[in-house]
Amino acid sequence: MASTSKLNKDLWTNITRLKLLTKPDAPVKFILEKTPFDDEEDEECPKVRDEYLISGRILPNSNIFKDGAYRIEMKLIPTYPIEPPEVRFLTPIYHPNITSDGKFCYQLLNNASKWKKGTTLVEAVQTVVKHVDNPDADYAVNYEIGKEYMQNRPEFNRKASEMAKKYSLPRQ
């Protein structure tokens, strides 16, 4: 990871920006629930760790997912911010770009060559919401769901809606 003081400053800035995603005019909605600073008495300096976890709920906008919220976890790995965070859905979701164990797979967050060191966590959340709302079958990690999305959209919509009703969280 970057030097501790620089990382803490960058992380604090990123977390502050994530908190702004609850505002009515935010381009996407994200409710921050847990940060590495939550467990520390001195908010300026979390302990050095091998990884830092940030969790919260995204509020997608598409017809299928717009009535619920989905808890995600962003794991900042030792090579962050040079490499992207790992994003995992903790709320089950039927989606071609998300594995059965919740890992979000898209080129910006899975390919270090696409990730730029200055990419913010807000941009990462925006990417997640964008691709939840608009699945990218070209990057499907679940072939069957990707095929269904491309070839039988009504069936995909039915299954995704059913799972959303069963597992999604309240938006408040």
Q: Could you identify the residue written with the tokens 């003081």?
A: 5
For domain 4-167, give the fold: Ubiquitin Conjugating Enzyme (3.10.110)
Distance CA 116, CA 101 (A): 26
* Res 104: pLDDT: 92
* Res 1: pLDDT: 47
* pLDDT tens by residue, the chain, 172 residues: 445 555 678 888 999 999 999 999 998 999 999 998 886 555 555 556 678 999 999 999 999 999 999 999 999 987 888 888 999 999 999 999 999 999 998 765 666 567 888 889 999 999 999 999 999 988 899 999 999 999 999 999 999 999 999 999 999 8
Which of these, 55, 69, 76, lies nearest to 132 by C-alpha position?
69
DSSP-assigned states of every residue in 54-79: EEEEEE--STTTTT-BEEEEEEE-TT
Which of these, 8, 16, 14, lies nearest to 85 by C-alpha position?
14
